[in-house]
Amino acid sequence: MTMGRMDMDAAGAGSPPKIRVWDPVVRMFHWGLVGLFAFSFLTGDEWKQAHIRSGYAIVGLLLVRIIWGFVGCHHARFSNFIYDPITTLGFIRDSLAMRAKRYIGHNPAGAAMVFALLLAISGIATTGYMMTTDAYWGVEWVEEAHELLVNLTLGLVGLHIAGVLLASIEHKENLVRAMITGRKRAD
């Protein structure tokens, strides 16, 4: 079946129909980034070579996701989840009041988070690479920017998790499972 088409849940005909939303590239990027970011965070000062290799793997993931954001399936394309700031702020207000519209793909807050995380992690990778070069090795502002971006990203991750939990409760839908299976409720 193609992305976006409905199919029946494996549980049987009594379950609500599901729609395929998150393709394998998006899911592998997401969970790969989760694992590599956690590994990089834990190995930072303790295991430099592994930390650097993990950083390069993250750059590879970022490149794949950015390309996929232009050529991938419907819900993976950036053009399908760009919202203006007023729409995003209104969505956040409605979410906090537990009355936000349900989206099949990225909701406005989730879309803003995707872009914020892509930018922050790109900044971490850039400053991390800079610290390995002769020109920037030992330069204090580069190291401070790297650490600041890591801490900012940890904050964004916390907000992302809170948003996923809030939306899961509000819409009675397990969004973590959806990011594992790729399927969401069709209605």
The confidence score (pLDDT) of residue 9 equals 44
Residue whose tokens read 């990778």: 125
The confidence score (pLDDT) of residue 10 equals 47
Chain centroid to Cα 29, Å, comes to 8
Residue 101 gets which letter from DSSP?
Answer: P
CB contact burial 45-57 (16+ within 10 A = b; e otherwise): eeeeeebbebbeb
φ/ψ bin of 4: left (φ > 0), alpha (ψ from -120 to 50), beta (otherwise) = left
Alpha-carbon span 66 to 78, nearest angstrom: 9
Q: In the chain, where do the E strands start and end?
A: 6-7, 18-20, 183-185
- Average pLDDT for consecutive 10-residue bins of the chain (187 residues)? 44 74 96 97 90 96 98 96 96 96 96 97 97 93 97 98 96 95 91
